[in-house]
Structure formats: C-alpha cells, structure tokens
Amino acid sequence: MKDRFANRKYFIMALAIAAAVILILRLFYIQIIDKTYRTSAANNVLRHITQYPARGLVYDRNGELIVYNQAAYDLLVVPVQTSAFDTARFNEILGISMKDFRDRMKAAVSYSRRAPSVFMKMISSETYGFLQEELYKFPGFYVQARTLRKYTRPVGAHLLGYVGEVDDKLIGQDKYYRSGDYIGVSGIEKSYEEHLRGRKGVNIFLVDVHNNIKGSYADGRFDTTSVPGTNLWSTIDLGLQEYGERLMRNKTGSIVAIEPSTGEILALVSSPSYDPSLLVGRVRSSNFIRLQADTVKPLFDRALMASYPPGSTFKMMNGLIGLEEGVIRPTSLFGCSMGYHAGSLTVGCHSHSSPLDLPGAVMNSCNAWFCNAFRSILENKGYNSIQEAYDRWREYLVAFGFGNKLGIDLPNELSGFIPTRSYYDRYYGKDRWKALTVISLAIGQGEIGATPLQMANMATVIANRGSFYIPHIVKKIGEEGGPSSVFSQKYTTGISAENFEPIIEGMEGAVNGGPGATARGARLDSIIICGKTGTAQNPHGKDHSIFVAFAPKDNPQIAIAVYVENAGFGSTFAAPIASLMIEEYLTGKMKRQYLEDYVLKVVIAPDGKEQ
C-alpha cells in the first residue's frame, strides 16, 4: 500500500529533536550561564536552632526562690558542613587536646554526617564569649543556648529532684523530646515536668557556606516560639527544710512536717543528703556515679521510700480503733506487771504505775494496755470471727493512709505494708490464727511497715481530729494557679472527733506530763506539743528512734514525724529533733542552744555506733 504520509516521519523526528534542544538550551542556561542558582543552593542549607525555654522557677511557701536557671551553651557540629580550619586555635578556645578533639569529632560523625550533634556540652559563658567572636572561622559549628538549674541553698535535693538528658527509650515514646533534651528525672522536676519544661520553639535559618546566618527561612513562617516553663510555689518552708537537714546531719533517717489544716508539706528531709547542684551540668554523670556507689545511699529518699515498723507510735491507732469500735473506753483500766502475759506468751514492758487508763497508757507507752485493747478489738463479739474483726481493723488503717500510697505529688512513693487477712491465712492456714498470734501489731511491731510520710500523715489526722488532705509539695502552679484539685479534697477516717481527745491527752502528757512521761525531752515552755515516741525494732542493728507529734495542741500548725535510724529509743534523738523543728517553725527562733548542740554533736554511723 502506498503510504502518502510517510514523509511526516521527518516532522515527527524533528519534534523529538526539538524537544531535546529546548531542554538542553534551558539546562545550559540554568546550569552554566545563570549563577544565581548556585548561590541559592549555598544559601539553602537550613539550620534548625531550637529555642530552649527556661525551666520554670521554684519558690518556697513564703515566696523565697529555691531553684532558678543559669545560662549554658552547647556547641554543636554538622560534620558535612565543616571544612579545613585552625584546629589548634579551636582547641585552645575550648581547652581540649587534639586527641580529645578527634574523639569528639569521631563521635559526631558516627552519630550522623548531616544531622547536628553535640560536640561539647554546657560550655561556660566565658568560653562562649571567646568562641562566638571567632565562630565564623569554624564552619559547621554553631552554638545553642541552654539553661541549667541553680539552687539558692544546698538543700532539698530529694524533693526538688534533678534534671537529666532524656534517654532513647523515652524519645521513642514521647514525641516532644529529641535527643539531647533535658527532662526532670526525680522529685518535683519529674512530677511537674510538663509544667516546668515549657514548650520548645525552633527558628529555621538559612546558612551559607561560611557559616553565616543569611536570614530567617521562609520569613519565619515555619518558626515556632518557645514558651517559658511555669513557675511553681512549693509548700516547703525553705528555712525549716534547711534547719531539718542541719539537725539530721551525720545521722540517717528523715523528717516529714505537714501543715495539718491543708496537707501542705513544710519540710521533707531525708538524710544523708547531697547538694542538689552536684547533679547539674557536665559534672552530673560523674557525681551521680559517685553518689550511687556511696554505701550510705544519699540518693535514696527515705521520707517516701523507707518502710519501717512504726513501733509504739502505732499504739494511738489501736487506741482510736478500740474507742470507735466501742470495745474500750478512755477510762478502761488494764494492769501491767512488767508486760503482757497470756499463757506462755509474754510481751515485755518497762516499769511504770499500774493500772493505767487510756491517756496514761499513751503517756507511759504501756505495752500491756495496748495488747489488751488490741485483743478486745479482734475478739469483738460483734463480728463472726477474729478475721472479720481484723478486716475492719485494717479498714481503719487504710482510711488513715496506711498500706497504700498516699498519692503525694512526688515520684517513687512507697505504699508501706499492712498485712491483709489472706496474708495471715497463707502463713498460718485459713482462719487458723487468733488475736494472740498477731499480738505484736498491738505495739506497732511485726509485719507492718509505714513510711515516714505516712506517719506524719497519721500525726496530721490526730491533729485534725479525724481528717486530712493528701500531703503535697506544690501549692501553686503558676502565678495565678492553685494546686492540683486532688489536694483540695478532704479525707475522713471514720473515727469520731471525740475519740481523739483521750489520745491527744495522752500525747500531751507524754511530752509535758510528770513521772512516766516518755518524751519530756521534747517539751517547750511556750507551746503545748503533743507527741508520742516509738522504737522500731531493727533486725540488722540498733533500733530506730521515732517520734510523731503535732503542735500546738489546739489549732495545730504543724504535724511531724521524725525517724533516726540506729539511734535507740524514740526519746533520745527523734523527740528533741521534732521539738527543735516545731520551735523553729512556730516561733522562728531557737532558744535551747544546749539541745541543739546535743543533737548536732552526735554522729551516728549507719551501723549504729555513736561517735
């Protein structure tokens, strides 16, 4: 067949060639003639500079500053953007060796060639000043401003906590954090992280090959501004906290002081402690390792995480429960002949007048009286069994905050331990145990465990005659804010107010009474302190000295629990320390120099030896 249109193929071929020619001419123009694109490409290196907001400040209850920020600078490097530069001068400014330089560079390269990584962390403002002047000579390096924590006084390490770098695990979980970001690791820094951290911002800049910022990328359209962290007002009285830490120096243990009417924690001391500024900045990791290896465990927050048997301070609980259950009366008399005797069982006691009523038993800390009372509680005919009565007894304790976490706004609180009925069932066989089997609970020994915080809360409940607010450490989030709403909810314990009076009378007597009073060392002339000593049996060494108290008797301002490990009877150290704390808080001045000297002078090693 004759193909009339065969010569159209030339036109078609010309079309293909024309297309190629158009493309090549255009390429020739933009790649070879026009230089502007090359300049643009050089300008096209984006630098994301994170704007780290300052962390929120922390004030004490009187508005005194506790934690604030200082400026620090991180030197970052993008390996691909570096080129030959005067490394000698560079090292001189930073004060590092050539080997150090190579190691750091290698680490940066192995992280990423193109992504920025930290070359040197937290360089001082002074070094930064020198470096900034000459930074243009060191392409690929740039500086990012950070803030570090600073403390007005070297106290409160446990409650304030510290700030550290986020770990990779968390970066995977929480999108907010990037490698190198800081995060609260413990204490308030951790529990209020979201308020304190603020919000990061980012500025995107165009940077040329000479490391000069050429301007904001896209007129800042993709920039975000940082929002500073929210300031917090703690419930802590910084002066009281510092005084407590001073009193506890060279001793192991803790002090928890609470304002009964609000649940606000006035002091939260754990000893041994450390200066919080040890865990800031470049020295943090080495100091942390040192603190962690220390045999006295300074990082361990005893106030929230140590569980001790409450000892005799627990007798008040059994007194209160007995009264509420109606199995004893304030006037109930029980005799004591150097202890409680039932068949072959004996719970020893010290010598004191006998028989005693309830206030007298609290004042003298009579073991026999409370063994009788506890037996009455469990053998109450109103219940079908000892076990049922035990369940009821345990419910009262739980209502006081024992056996569970109280829910303080600090991380790592321990729940303590109040055995359940099934615990004893497992141990002795189902329902095969009697009041006498668990009689040590009568005097706060045996299987039970409570944290100093829980004991302070018990003192709070007694001071309040039956109610409490969850103890908390932050009273205001932001200038206008309040505490978290869970802390404004009042909890009641199911024990009527009048039942507290004989107990409080006994506690008053223990401190201020005549012969037989167990805690006269805590007495103050001007203020009526109500308190109770305790001694926690310690299978590993000398017993722990305990004292719980509140003051004044009417309209109490402070409730306190003091634990001194390996210090023996509660009256020896815990009571004077509590007394000094109360005096310091309520009067603002300390008049008993001899008592303070006595407390400060003593050094109790962790093994219990006085030095």
Q: Which is nearer to other proteins, 34 or 607 (CB)?
A: 34
Alpha-helix residue ranges (DSSP H) falling in 204-277: 238-247
423 binds other proteins per the rule CB under 8 A = no
Alpha-helix residue ranges (DSSP H) falling in 464-573: 500-512
Q: Which is nearer to other proteins, 38 or 290 (CB)?
A: 38
172 binds other proteins per the rule CB under 8 A = no
Contact (CB, 8 A) for 333 and 366:
no
36 binds other proteins per the rule CB under 8 A = yes
Q: Residue from 99, 169, 175, 221 that binds other proteins (CB under 8 A)?
A: 221
218 binds other proteins per the rule CB under 8 A = yes
Contact (CB, 8 A) for 443 and 371:
yes
Judged by DSSP in three states, 547 sits in strand
Nearest to 47 by CA among 181, 203, 209: 203
E-assigned strand segments in 263-312: 264-271
Measure the CA–CA gap between 123 and 121, rounded to whole angstroms: 6
Minimum CB distance to other proteins, residue 75 (Å): 21
For residues 46 to 65, the per-residue mask of contacts with other proteins, x marking binding by CB under 8 A and - elsewhere, is x-------------------
Name residue, tokens 């910084």. 238
12 binds other proteins per the rule CB under 8 A = yes
Piece in contact with other proteins (CB under 8 A), picked from 26-34, 153-161, 272-280, 308-316: 26-34
Q: Which is nearer to other proteins, 181 or 208 (CB)?
A: 208
31 binds other proteins per the rule CB under 8 A = yes
Q: Which is nearer to other proteins, 39 or 353 (CB)?
A: 39
Size of the site for other proteins (CB under 8 A): 39
213 binds other proteins per the rule CB under 8 A = no
Q: Output the six-digit token pair for 426.
A: 């497992």
Contacts 24+ apart (CB under 8 A), 222-226: 224/200, 225/51, 225/201, 226/51, 226/52, 226/53, 226/198, 226/199, 226/200, 226/201
Minimum CB distance to other proteins, residue 84 (Å): 17
Q: Over the range 528-546, which residues count as b (16 or more CB within 10 Å of their CB) and which as e?
A: bbbbbbbbbeeeeebbbbb
83 binds other proteins per the rule CB under 8 A = no
Judged by DSSP in three states, 184 sits in strand
Minimum CB distance to other proteins, residue 25 (Å): 9
Q: Which is nearer to other proteins, 114 or 381 (CB)?
A: 114
Q: Output the six-digit token pair for 510.
A: 């223990």
| 106-165 binders of other proteins (CB under 8 A) | 112-114
Nearest to 197 by CA among 297, 22, 50, 62: 50
Q: Which is nearer to other proteins, 17 or 296 (CB)?
A: 17
Piece in contact with other proteins (CB under 8 A), picked from 17-25, 384-392, 418-426, 570-578: 17-25
Judged by DSSP in three states, 444 sits in coil
Q: Which is nearer to other proteins, 31 or 385 (CB)?
A: 31
Name residue, tokens 């037996």. 375
19 binds other proteins per the rule CB under 8 A = yes
Q: Output the six-digit token pair for 200.
A: 């990061």
Measure the CA–CA gap between 481 and 551, rounded to whole angstroms: 30
293 binds other proteins per the rule CB under 8 A = no
4 binds other proteins per the rule CB under 8 A = yes
26 binds other proteins per the rule CB under 8 A = yes
41 binds other proteins per the rule CB under 8 A = yes
20 binds other proteins per the rule CB under 8 A = yes
87 binds other proteins per the rule CB under 8 A = no
How many Cα neighbours within 13 Å face the side chain of 33? 7
Q: Which is nearer to other proteins, 10 or 594 (CB)?
A: 10
Minimum CB distance to other proteins, residue 21 (Å): 9
Q: What are phi and psi of 271, to 5 degrees?
A: -130, 140
Measure the CA–CA gap between 579 and 533, rounded to whole angstroms: 12
The residue ranges that bind other proteins (CB under 8 A) are 1, 4-6, 8-9, 11-13, 15-17, 19-20, 22-24, 26-28, 30-32, 34, 36-38, 40-42, 44-46, 112-114, 218-219, 221
